Structure 1
């Protein structure tokens, strides 16, 4: 499920970026970029901080799933 959410965020960013000549609210692009970078930039030395950052950005079902997997994600990243 994480993969689907991230792909959707990246696709939305790409579509909005490709429409850069049109007047587009840049807020969604910034949020999608920040979330994607936070998710893919977990540092093994500070895994808990990275997971906490992602949790602060997550909402809805994604937040629920991420909370349930947070400790496991930290354990894998710290290995």
Structure 2
């Protein structure tokens, strides 16, 4: 399933991310900066495995590699 959202929509949502210094954090930060927007961070961590769980719990939105999300969802279905 595919959903289109604008950068301004993303800027208004609670955002879950890795800490600065990780590519998965730096690339979206650069895109937002170019648009003159900022994320509203509610969690910044250094463990990518935690992020899908926080998103699934409804604590915010975030960017997660597809393989990480697939693994997290498979684990969720088994428990």
TM surpasses 0.5: no
Give the TM-score taking structure 2 as reference length. 0.27
Ranked by relative contact order (alpha carbons within 8 Å, sequence separation 6 or more), the top structure is 2
Q: Tell me which structure has the larger Cα radius of gyration.
A: 1
- Which structure shows the higher strand fraction? 2
